[in-house]
Amino acid sequence: MADALPFQSPQELMECLKSQKYIANNEIATILYLSQQLGKPVLAEGPAGVGKTELAKALAGASDRELIRLQCYEGLDESKALYEWEYAKQLLYTQLLRDKLQETLSSSESLKVAADRLAAEEDVFFSMRFLLQRPLLKAILSPEPTVLLIDEIDRSDAEFEAFLLEVLSDFQVTVPELGTLAAIHRPLVILTSNNTRELSEALKRRCLYLFIDYPSIDQELAVVRLKVPELNPKLARQAVELVHRLRTFDLRKSPSISETLDWAKALVTLNAHNLDDTTLETTLSVLLKHENDLARARRQLLSPPPGKRDIDLKRFQN
Amino acid sequence: MDKRIVEFVAALRAAGVRISLAESSDAFQAVDFLGVQDRELFRVSLRSTLVKDNSDLETFDNLFPLFFQAGSPPPLFNPSSELTPQEAEMLAKALRQFNDEIRKMLEKLMKGMPLNQSELQNLDQLVNQSNITDLRYQNWLARQMEQALKFREVRQAVQELMELLRQMGMNRQRVDQLRQMLQANQEALQEQLRQYASQRIAENMAQQSRRDRMDNLYNLPFHSLTEEDMHALRQEVRRLAAMLRTRVALRMKRARTGVLDVKATLRSNLKNNSVPFDIHHRDHTLKPRIVILCDISTSMRYCSELMLSLLGEVQDQISKTHAFAFIDHLEYITPLYIDNQPGEAIAKILRQMPSGHYNTDLGLCLDNFIDQYFDTVDSRTTFLILGDGRNNYNEPRTELFRDIARRSRYTIWFNPEPATLWGTGDSDMLKYQPHCKQVVQVSNLTQLASAIDHLLVSNFS
């Protein structure tokens, strides 16, 4: 399993990620580098939409490896994540091979001999041919080194988490009919979590922990400039500053980087030149996804309509 | 260096971060790869291997500089080197006016020497700090050390010294300059003391063992909890709940031995030409429905809060929870406690319902309950009451209680008082008891956890 490691230093890793249009800070690059060196998975946590999944994609691109993704959800079990026997295919083969089977068995005098002969052939039906590989097994058996992304692990059940432990620490799985399958190449593993529930200590212990928070203004601006180069720089800065201001409000869901990018694209599409009230009014719903948040942001960002002020004045004069 | 890292890990543990042996060995490996030359790389390699929880990052960031800093106090000026011989003579003469102790300090300030190791160790004996294990005491400890070094007197002495020098005819500008340097030096010494204080605390933390404190907390009676204990417990409850939840989930999984589910079996085997390879069984486990009435008067508040937190954490194993809080009347708190942490929910409810003196009235609350919320109870509901059954001589209304108990599947009472106290004074516990399926004493977290575990089991039968 002595693979050539794709990166020689954190700096190199950071450069490679940048070439994949992902701006990583020092911390992210260092932790990814460590994970490659120590052969440990990275557990990335942070608010939704700060680029945890994107990080795995960028890493796959940067290291020129295939990305294998396992999306977790409630009720996900081994047969969906690891492997399954293809019953239908086995059944079909048995049907088609009936003649051949008959031929093999016909010469046997007793039932016992026939059963023994059949048993000798049963390996045919429990071989890799009939094994349906799911993401985890695929990552382990892949002849090329891969990047394995286990997305939103916090959505899966506690049992599945426990099951992952064997895979993540030894990179091997046991299929009863075939024996233990060990990884040809140790994949780079990234787990992401939105922290909707506490993960078990055992799982955390096996991972390196990476907390990705909302970026600073300059970092986010760099991301916007990289991903949406069409947006004029002055407007980009204004937009990023506004998003940062929104994050200081007490909102149900603060806008994250992905929303900033969507918004930047929207501004380009609408051909906006500056952030006036009308532009804001029409595009704010790209940033905020809850009715209450929208109402609150409108109240705080947009100045009250002038008509109202006049009425107040008149009342005062009477 | 290795020793320093081990001490650092011990201090983190003392500050409440859970670090296993495997994690600290990972940290060493990581440091082997990235080295210690680059402080930032070093920090990140420790942080990613040791800290696995968002809420612990702050503790790490606070402690890290205490252990791995160049440890250099701010630089000191050396005013005495800049003096002309004449001025030096004047100074020596002026210094003679002060007593020994103060003079030594002043001379130190004049020469710009930081406190050396033996002086700092002397301080340890003057100020007893061995039992301080909380970083919040840093400033306090530093001030104690300043007092031991007579900083205030020294500050005054500096003023007097300047006055003396001026009288002796030193140039006013020079005196001002000197004064400024001395002040800067004194501030630098203060900073050194602050750093030293925090290092001492960190070392104390490294030596303290944490486990026994946690064990004690589990068994501490609710009525003697302080706000600080409560803070520790709130964190512990989350871990406990994760454990409970896993246990319950496993139990549910193993309990799936119900009758054959024909529909599900047919559906999943369509791909096999309806040859039933996968057999599906119907779950015969029912998730409990819970209606809980919590007494939140002063004596019961912590207990109720922990109960609600635990229930909130195992919510996915319960099909529906209706939570009510009461003191002198009943409040429906489910919406509050789903949106907020249980602690905040109770604080909010208390703002609506200020607890007066001795005004708990369960009888009236039961009446309220039957009036407005009786439809929340049906034959699948477990009816829980969390309270001490002390009604302040109000009417207990046991007939209402009986009605509710009859309609529900189970009625369980959690009482923090020991059984010997039931029925004494204003306690109506013995009157309610015959209608309950079970009365459980829960006076600490261990008992509470096992009671909840039991509660989830009893519904599987």
Q: Closest chain B residue to A40 measured between Cα atoms? A: B26
Closest C-alpha to A199, from A166, A167, A152: A152
What pLDDT is recorded for position B150? 77
Distance from B312 to chain A by nearest Cα, in Å?
12
Q: CB distance B26–A201 less than 8 Å?
A: no
Sheet holding A208-211, edge to edge: A66-71, A146-151, A188-193, A42-45, A208-211
Contacts of A39 in chain B (CB under 8 A): none
Q: CB distance A210–B48 less than 8 Å?
A: yes
Tokens of A204: 């955390």
Contacts of A32 in chain B (CB under 8 A): none
Q: How far is CA A235 from its chain centroid? A: 31
Q: Closest chain B residue to A204 measured between Cα atoms? A: B52
Which one is predicted more confidently, A1 or B286? B286
Pairing of strands A188-193, B330-332: unpaired
Is the dihedral angle over the CA atoms B388, B393, B399, B403 positive or is it negative? negative
DSSP label at B293?
Answer: E
In three-state secondary structure terms, B415 is strand
How far lies B409's CA from each of B412, B433, B459, B461, in Å? 10, 16, 9, 12
d(CA B359, CA B26): 57
Question: Phi and psi dihedrals of A250, rounded to 5?
Answer: -90, 85
Q: Which of B13, B48, B238 to mutate: most A Cβ within 10 Å?
A: B48
Contacts of A158 in chain B (CB under 8 A): 242, 245-246, 249
How far lies A264's CA from each of A150, A214, A226, A246, in Å? 29, 17, 11, 15
Q: Give strand pairing partners of B162.
A: none
The CB-side HSE value for B67 (13 A sphere, CA atoms) comes to 26
Helical H segments across B374-425, by residue range: 398-407
A260, pLDDT greater than 80: yes
DSSP label at B281?
Answer: B
Distance from A34 to chain B by nearest Cα, in Å?
7
Q: How far is CA B6 from its chain centroid? A: 24
What pLDDT is recorded for position B354? 66
Q: Name the residue among A87, A204, A205 with its Cβ closest to that of B272.
A: A87
Cα angle B174, B175, B181; round to 5: 90
Q: Give strand pairing partners of A45.
A: A193, A211
d(CA B250, CA B244): 10
Distance from A88 to chain B by nearest Cα, in Å?
5
Q: Give strand pairing partners of A280.
A: none
pLDDT tens readout for residues A121-165: 777 788 888 888 899 999 988 898 999 999 999 888 878 888 888
Q: CB distance B41–A10 less than 8 Å?
A: yes
Q: CB distance B52–A209 less than 8 Å?
A: yes
- Give one DSSP letter per residue of chain A, joined into a string: --PPPS-SSHHHHHHHHHHTT----HHHHHHHHHHHHHT--EEEE-STTSSHHHHHHHHHHHHT-EEEEEE--TT--HHHHTEEE-HHHHHHHHHHTHHHHHHHHHT-SSHHHHHHHHHHHGGGTSSGGGEEE-HHHHHHH-SS-EEEEEETGGGS-HHHHHHHHHHHHH-EEEETTTEEEE-SSPPEEEEEE--SSPPPHHHHHTSEEEE--PPPHHHHHHHHHHH-TTS-HHHHHHHHHHHHHHHHS--SS---HHHHHHHHHHHHHTT--S--HHHHHHHHHHH--SHHHHHHHHHHHSPPPHHHHHHHHHHHH-
Q: Name the residue among B34, B246, B273 with its Cβ closest to that of A91.
A: B273
Residue A201 confidence class, pLDDT cut points 50, 70, 90? confident
Name the residue type at position A186.
R
Token pair 């049963």 in the structure block, residue: A122
Distance from A61 to chain B by nearest Cα, in Å?
23
CB B299 within 8 A of CB B392: no
Distance from A10 to chain B by nearest Cα, in Å?
9
- What's chain B's length in residues? 461
Helical H segments across B227-341, by residue range: 227-254, 262-268, 301-313, 334-339
d(CA A127, CA B14): 53
CB A224 within 8 A of CB A212: no
Which one is predicted more confidently, A288 or A3? A288
Largest CA distance in chain B: 112
Q: Name the residue among A34, A91, A211 with its Cβ closest to that of B45.
A: A34
Buried b / exposed e along B362-380 (16+ C-beta atoms within 10 A): bbbbbbbbbeeeeebbeee
Q: Name the residue among A88, A205, A209 with its Cβ closest to that of B48.
A: A209
Contacts of A95 in chain B (CB under 8 A): none
Tokens of B183: 């002040």
Give residues 191 to 210 of A whose Cβ lies within 8 Å of B. 195, 198, 200-201, 204-210
d(CA B28, CA B22): 10
- pLDDT tens digits in sequence order for chain B, 461 residues long: 788 888 888 888 877 788 888 888 989 988 888 888 888 888 888 999 998 888 788 888 888 887 777 555 566 666 666 677 777 777 777 777 777 777 777 777 777 777 777 777 777 777 766 666 666 777 777 887 877 777 778 888 888 888 888 888 777 787 888 888 888 888 888 888 887 787 777 777 777 655 555 566 677 677 667 776 777 777 777 777 777 777 766 666 666 566 788 888 888 888 888 888 888 877 655 667 888 888 888 777 777 777 777 777 766 667 788 888 888 888 888 877 766 666 677 777 777 776 666 678 888 889 989 999 888 888 888 888 888 888 888 888 889 999 999 998 888 888 888 888 888 888 888 888 888 888 888 888 788 878 877 777 655 33
Contacts of B48 in chain A (CB under 8 A): 30-31, 34, 208-210
Contact status of A314 with chain B (Cβ, < 8 Å): no
Closest C-alpha to A245, from A282, A278, A288: A288
d(CA A186, CA A167): 11
- Give one DSSP letter per residue of A148-163, joined into a string: EEEETGGGS-HHHHHH
Q: CB distance A209–B47 less than 8 Å?
A: yes
Residue B383 host element (H or E): strand B381-386
Q: Closest chain B residue to A74 measured between Cα atoms? A: B316
d(CA A96, CA A57): 43
d(CA B294, CA B307): 9
Q: Which of B17, B28, B44, B340 to mutate: most A Cβ within 10 Å?
A: B44
In three-state secondary structure terms, B172 is helix
Contacts of A290 in chain B (CB under 8 A): none
Contacts of B40 in chain A (CB under 8 A): 26
Q: Name the residue among A26, A159, A200 with its Cβ closest to that of B40.
A: A26
What pLDDT is recorded for position A57? 92
Q: CB distance B54–A195 less than 8 Å?
A: yes
Q: Which of A87, A132, A154, A194 to mutate: most B Cβ within 10 Å?
A: A87
Report how many Cβ contacts below 8 Å link chain A to chain B.
78
Give residues 140 to 199 of A whose Cβ lies within 8 Å of B. 157-159, 195, 198
Q: Closest chain A residue to B238 measured between Cα atoms? A: A198
Name the residue type at position A21.
K
What pLDDT is recorded for position A1? 40
Q: Name the residue among B33, B53, B272 with its Cβ closest to that of A34.
A: B33
What's the predicted TM-score (pTM) here?
A: 0.64
Q: CB distance A30–B45 less than 8 Å?
A: yes
What pLDDT is recorded for position B215? 61
Closest C-alpha to B336, from B294, B380, B286, B365: B294
Closest C-alpha to A183, from A202, A193, A169, A164: A169
Q: Name the residue among A31, A195, A205 with its Cβ closest to that of B48.
A: A31
Confidence check on the interface: ipTM exceeds 0.85, yes or no: no
Q: CB distance A87–B53 less than 8 Å?
A: no
In three-state secondary structure terms, B438 is strand
d(CA B49, CA B37): 18
Cβ neighbours for B166, distance < 8 A, ≥ 6 positions apart = B172, B175
CB A29 within 8 A of CB A14: yes
Distance from B428 to chain A by nearest Cα, in Å?
40
In three-state secondary structure terms, B433 is helix
**In whole angstroms, how large is the CA radius of gyration of chain B?**
33
